[in-house]
Structure formats: structure tokens, C-alpha cells
Amino acid sequence: MTAALQKWLSVTLLSLVLPSLLAFAVLADLFGMRVSGRDLSLDIYTRLAPFAAETALAEQMVFVDIDEESLATYGQWPWPRQYMAVLLQNIGLQEPAAIGFDVLFSEDDRFNAPAIEALGGLETGSLTDVLPDGDGLFGEMLSYTPSIVAFSLTSSEGANEAYLPASVSVIGEANMPLLAADNLLSPVPKLQTAPGSGFVSLALERDSIVRHVPMLARLGTGSEARLVPSISLEMLRVAQGARGHILKISEDTGTANNQLRTGRVILNLDEFGRLPLHHGYSDRFTTISARDVFEGRNLERLQNAFVLVGASAAGLKDIHSTNLEAAIPGGLIHLQALHQMLSGHTLRSSQLTIFAEILAAFVASVLLSIIILTISVKLSALLVVIAGAGFAYADFWLFVEHQIVTNAAMSLTQLAFASLTLLLYRALREEANRRQLRGAFGQYLSPDMVKEIEQSGQSPELGGVTTPISVMFMDVRGFTTLSETLSSQPQTLTKIINIILDESTKVIMAHGGTLDKYIGDAIMAFWNAPVPQHDHARRAVDAAIALEAHLPHINHILRPHLPEELADHQIRIGIGIATGEVVVGNFGSQSRLSYSVVGDTVNLAARLEPFGKQTGLALAFSHATATDASHEDVIAINAIPIRGRVEAEIVHSYCPLSPETRTLHDQMVALFTTPSDSLSSNFAPLRQQLAETPDYPASLLAYYDEQFRSFASN
């Protein structure tokens, strides 16, 4: 199997496995992530964009508050029912659209004649003609007004018969997991005169935050079970004069949502028969104290309004939390639901929506995974952020523009978990590659070059490749004599060698060289591998010049370590550099490999290194090196035969000369590189001129003397 195919298979498997596992976990609803994720998403959407419909409609939502001030004026709760009759009468005279009571009247008035007679030990019937029938008065007023009384769902047996003036018809199989109860806490018989009756029970969620209001509940079990409406739904029905409610199950709606019709209003309910609430701040509604209603103040605000009588007094324990406000009366939550219904603003969420977002998150996770596994970690992280932001914006846009409640928290978690896991995998894998790279090249490349290889994102070719390089051999002159002198002091000799090699290596690496090996007191290095360097010849020449210039510093460091008899010893070096094509890669055995170069260019550099002993110039460059380096102070010396080569090699060296001296020197080189009969007659005058120039090395002049004698003897 090829490396490319293996990489493709690994990328495909990694990019599919993790997103698939996450999608399965979401579909299986492990740890309740679907519900909790959707709730969290709804909380975030609501905080970012609280519900704010038309101001006029919000002002029609009126909360008559049984507050602390009202209790202080009219006594503790429950008030006499005749008080409630007066309260309802004052509200009814303003001709509101509907009047709901978020208060239970499941017990007889405690201020009626029989109750007081029993309390005072009076004769039965003695107060019947004296005290008014509060329940009767209140019941009569309920019958005259568009009122809706409340009942509560309970598991215990209710004292009163269920009062359900409106029916709920069902189209389809009514198998929804609705809020259920065996019995109801209904109003007392005398109050079962109101046009509407609905439950006020709120299905509290795991964190006690009200995000949904049940619109329907199931009363009883089996074939006798029936559906009952909420108080907000009944207020909507009574205000329209509708007879009942019609529930259409999602399989029959064609919209994947359960739909409930009350009069002219159609609602979308979730799979639990609830209305998802898009909360707005409750101060947009009108609130009137019950005391003001009793005393006839601000009643004009009740005209054509949807009035709900409830309590904010702490002792009545009807305070709840929403995802927007920490504590509001339950009555305001029912008004919130009613306000949404009348605004035509019903949030939607269905099994189809859930499946679509899981699929979208899966596809996005797969695509991101493939990208993460094929591009750099930094760019991948940026794409993950962009993709996450795009997902979040799309979900928020669907909520604001189309009232679709998506599970952004779940989708983003799915996306983030898959992406971050693979990013971590990539980061760990790249770190392992970097460690491997540092292990492979850290000993013979400068840290900057190793970093350059890491940042390139591509490993260098390690398997034998042909490439042009410049290779250097550096040797310490006279080291044999030094080592013989220090033969009895091996530790001192080792220290001296290490100092020389360490200082020389620093210079080579500072010029981008690759350290090949140490050969006793010699160093082999090369340029243009493993990192490409278009100016490798110039780098090698500059490194050689810098090494020669660094010798005084090396000698200064060595001085404290030399024995007294070698106190004035100065080390010198010889350097040979050649440029040409070689094979570069790993060489050695299966148990031990070395990154190195082989080829004729390497041999040429090794043979050039001793040439400086003849000229007195420490550096010797091949003709190709000098040509490619284009250094102004590199001069040609002579064409010399190289063992194993047919043609002679023109050797160059570093020797700064004045323009006049350089001209004379070039003439001297021409005499020897193109020998003719004129050499004998022209050498002496030219030599005399060079001998008179102060900047021409005497050792180089001596070299040409030797070359001339050799020519003359032949």
C-alpha cells in the first residue's frame, strides 16, 4: 500500500469515526443532551433577543396583582368571595376581552354563614339572612363576564367535580407524552359558572426555569382519558367566542409539528404538547394593584384587555424563574404565553428539526475533520472558529427570523468536540514529528534551521536524493604535534578539541551550514540540504572567512587550558570547499544511520583542504564555488591536477587585494593556467612588481616561485 493511500485511508477513517460516534450519542440522547442542549440554546437566544412585539398588544396584557399592599389593606388571603365579586365586577365593567384567575377556588368561602356559625358555635341558619352568599355572588358575576377560572392537576382525589366547559378534539393518534394527572382541583360548584376553565399547573423543569408552558394535559388513563386546556388557551378561546380546541398530531399536519387550533389562532406545540416560550421582559405588560381595582383607579387600562388576576405577594408562593428574569409571578408567565399566541409568534421545534441539525452537524464535523487532518493546526483552528461562528449565526438567524428553536448548544458541542479532538490529535502528532525532526537534525543543524523545517510543514527528503551542495572540510593545522605533546594529558587534549570543534560549529551553523560529522580534529559540513539555500556557495565561503577571522578568539579561549610549554601556541586551520551535485540522505546500516552526502564533490573538497599549506592561505575553493559565491575578495590561485580527474581544477582562495595588485595577480595566474613560452620571459618582471606591492602575501609569492621552478625544471 502506498504512503499516499495509507494517508488517505487514515484521514477518511479519522474524519468519519468521531463525528459518527458523536451523532449516534446525540440520536440516542445520551445524558439527556438533546433536551438540555435545546434548553440552553433557547436561554441564549432569549437573552440575545428578548421577545418584543407591538407595544399596543403588550399593553393589552394586564396583570391585576394581589400584592403586599393589597393584602395589607384588605386582609390576609383568601379574601371573602364577595370581595372577589366586587373585584370582578369592577374589571367586568371595563369590558375586557377575557378575565383569567390564576387563583384556585377549590374550597367554599371561609366567610360564608355556615362557616362562621360553626366557628362561633351559633345556631345553624342564624346568620343566613345576615351574611351575603359570597360564592353565590362571585359565581353570578363569573357568569356575566368573559371569565376563566383555574383548576390544578393533582394525583389526589378532588373534592369537586371537574368543570370543563370546553372540549379538546384530536385529529390523529393522541399519543403525545403530555402533562398528566388522575384528578383535578376544580372550583366549588357555585363558581362553575364561568365561560372557561383551564389549568394553571406549570411543568417545572430540572433547573426550575420556566421555558415552556403546557397547553394541554391528559386527565385520567385508558379509554376514559381526555385532554384539558390551560388557562391561557381558555382565555384565547373565550375572547374569540370559540366553542373548543382542535389538536392535530404532527403526522397529520404535514409540518412535523403538533398544531393546536383555538378559534382563528393556530399554535405549534412541541412533542410534549407545550408552547416554547420566547420570554420578553415582563415590564412591557400593564400591572395594576388589586387595591387600585377595588378603589376604581386606572380602570380605563382594562378596556378590551386580557386581564389575569394573580399574586406577587411572597406569602402566596406563586413566584417563578425564567431564562430572562429571576423571579416573576406565575400569572405573568401565563400572560407571556397569551401574548405570544396573539402575536402569531410561536416557536417551532420538531423531530424533523432535530434530525436536520444532527445531520448538518455531522456533515460539518466530517468536512472540518478532513480539513483539520490535511492543513496546518493554526489554519485549522481558525476554520473551526469560523465554522462555529457560522453555525451559531445560522441557528440564531433561524430563531429570530423563522422562530425555529434549534439545538445550537448540541450542534456546536458536537462540532467543537470532533474538531478539538482532532486538533489535539494533530497537535500531538505534529509535536511527535517535531521531536523526531529535532532528533534527526538537531545535532547537525542550527536551531533556526530546524525551526524553518518545522514551519515548512514538510519533512526533508531523507532517502538519497541528488542535489547541488557546497561542502566544506576544515582541519586544524599542526594538531598532530599538539596531540603528541599532550599525549600524557588526555583530559586537556579532549578539552582543547572540544573547544575548537564547538566554536567552529557555532560559526558554521550561524551561516546555515549542516554539520555532517567530526573526523578527529576535522569538521565536515555542507549547505543546501536538508533546507534549500539558493545562495549556498556564498554561505559556505562566508562561513570559511568567518572561521578564519574567529581563530584569535578560539586561541584566546584555549590559552588557559594549554600547558606552560605550549603557552604561545596558536592553532591554525585549513579549509577546502567544493560545489557540485552529490547524493544526500541517510547512509549507514540498519542499526545506525547518518545523514550525510557522497559524491565526487565531497572528494574534491577533501583534496582542496591541504592546498593552503602550499600557498600559506588557509582557504581553498573550487572553481564552481568561487563562481557561484561571487565574492569580491576571492581570487584564483592556479589550475592544479586532482587525483581521479582528467581536467585540472582552478583553485581559488580568499585574499583581499587592492585593484592594482589584483590586476597584477590575475596576470600571474594567467601565466600558470595557460602556460606558454612567454612564462619564462614574463614571470620575473611580474614577480618583481608583485614583490613591491605591500598588500601581496609573501607566502603566495613563494608559491609561484616554486611553481616556476617546477616549470623550468620540466
Distances (CA, A) of 512 to 487, 526, 527, 575, 696: 35, 9, 7, 17, 32
Sequence length of the chain is 714
pLDDT of residue 3: 46
Residues 95-123 have pLDDT tens digits of 999 999 999 999 988 888 777 777 766 77
Pairing state of beta strands 196-199 and 212-214? unpaired
Residues 531-545 have pLDDT tens digits of 889 999 999 999 999
Q: Of 453-467, 556-570, 647-661, which gets the smallest average pLDDT?
A: 453-467
pLDDT of residue 411: 73
Torsion of CA 362, 363, 368, 373, to 10 degrees: 90
Task: Report, as an integer, the average pLDDT of 352-375.
Answer: 72
* pLDDT-based confidence at residue 4 (cuts at 50, 70, 90): very low
* Closest residue by Cα to residue 689 from 643, 658, 649, 653: 658
- Is residue 123 within 8 A of residue 67, CB to CB? The reply is no
Residue type, 502: D
Matching residue, cell 448540541? 410
Please say if the pLDDT value at position 364 is more than 50: yes
* Helix H or strand E segment including 465: strand 465-477
Q: What is the mean pLDDT of the chain?
A: 84
Task: Report, as an integer, the average pLDDT of 494-523.
Answer: 91
**Long-range contacts, stretch 640-649, CB < 8 angstroms, 24+ apart:** 640/611, 642/604, 642/607, 643/607, 644/600, 644/603, 645/600, 645/604, 649/604, 649/608, 649/622, 649/623
Percent of the chain with pLDDT over 70: 84
* pLDDT-based confidence at residue 436 (cuts at 50, 70, 90): low
Please say if the pLDDT value at position 376 is more than 80: no
C-alpha–C-alpha distance, residues 197 and 223, integer Å: 23
* Closest residue by Cα to residue 611 from 584, 582, 638: 638
* pLDDT-based confidence at residue 26 (cuts at 50, 70, 90): low
* pLDDT-based confidence at residue 18 (cuts at 50, 70, 90): low
* pLDDT-based confidence at residue 256 (cuts at 50, 70, 90): low
* Closest residue by Cα to residue 477 from 650, 629, 637, 615: 615
Q: Give the contacts of 54 (CB within 8 A, at least 6 positions apart).
A: 343
**DSSP calls for 112-160:** SHHHHHHHHTPPTTTTTTTS--HHHHHHHHHHHTTEEEEEEEESSPPSS
pLDDT of residue 435: 67
Please say if the pLDDT value at position 306 is more than 90: yes
- Where residue 585 falls (left for φ over 0; alpha for ψ -120 to 50; beta otherwise) is left
Domains of the chain and CATH, by start: 3-39+357-439 (no CATH), 52-343 (no CATH), 458-648 (3.30.70.1230), 657-714 (no CATH)
Peptide bond preceding 610: is omega within 30 degrees of 0, i.e. cis? no
pLDDT of residue 595: 77
* pLDDT-based confidence at residue 458 (cuts at 50, 70, 90): low
Please say if the pLDDT value at position 589 is more than 70: no
Within 13 Å and on the Cβ side, how many CA atoms surround 153?
Answer: 23
Helix/strand/coil for 87? helix
**Long-range contacts, stretch 594-598, CB < 8 angstroms, 24+ apart:** 594/517, 595/440, 595/441, 595/444, 595/462, 595/514, 595/516, 595/530, 596/516, 596/517, 597/469, 597/471, 597/516, 597/526, 597/529
C-alpha–C-alpha distance, residues 575 and 473, integer Å: 6
Task: Report, as an integer, the average pLDDT of 41-49.
Answer: 86
pLDDT of residue 218: 92
- Locate the DSSP E strands across 263-346: 265-269, 274-276, 286-289, 306-311, 319-320, 328-329
* pLDDT-based confidence at residue 222 (cuts at 50, 70, 90): confident
Torsion of CA 173, 174, 176, 181, to 10 degrees: -150
Please say if the pLDDT value at position 461 is more than 50: no
Distances (CA, A) of 225 to 175, 178, 222, 271: 11, 12, 6, 19
Task: Report, as an integer, the average pLDDT of 390-397.
Answer: 84
Q: Of 290-304, 380-394, 629-643, which gets the smallest average pLDDT?
A: 380-394
Please say if the pLDDT value at position 252 is more than 70: no
Beta bridge partners of 469: 580
pLDDT of residue 619: 97
Please say if the pLDDT value at position 600 is more than 70: yes
pLDDT of residue 481: 78
* pLDDT-based confidence at residue 384 (cuts at 50, 70, 90): confident
Please say if the pLDDT value at position 64 is more than 80: yes
Please list, residue by residue across 19-50, b when 16 or more beta carbons sit within 10 angstroms of its beta carbon and e when fewer do: beebbeebeeeeeebbebbbbbbbbbbbeeee
Please say if the pLDDT value at position 157 is more than 90: no
C-alpha–C-alpha distance, residues 406 and 42, integer Å: 8
Task: Report, as an integer, the average pLDDT of 13-17.
Answer: 54
Q: Which of 482-486, 515-519, 641-645 has the highest mean pLDDT?
A: 515-519
Task: Report, as an integer, the average pLDDT of 648-662.
Answer: 95
- Is residue 602 within 8 A of residue 625, CB to CB? The reply is no
Q: Of 70-79, 225-234, 476-485, 528-537, which gets the smallest average pLDDT?
A: 476-485
C-alpha–C-alpha distance, residues 692 and 282, integer Å: 106
* 241 vs 450: which has the higher pLDDT: 241
* pLDDT-based confidence at residue 7 (cuts at 50, 70, 90): very low
* Helix H or strand E segment including 405: none
Q: Of 251-265, 292-306, 542-556, 661-675, which gets the smallest average pLDDT?
A: 251-265
Burial, 335: exposed, middle or buried (Cβ in 10 Å; 0-12, 13-18, 19+)? Answer: buried
**Long-range contacts, stretch 44-50, CB < 8 angstroms, 24+ apart:** 44/408, 44/409, 45/278, 45/395, 45/396, 45/399, 45/400, 45/405, 45/408, 46/278, 46/279, 46/323, 46/324, 47/323, 47/324, 48/396, 49/396, 49/399, 49/400, 50/279, 50/280, 50/281, 50/324
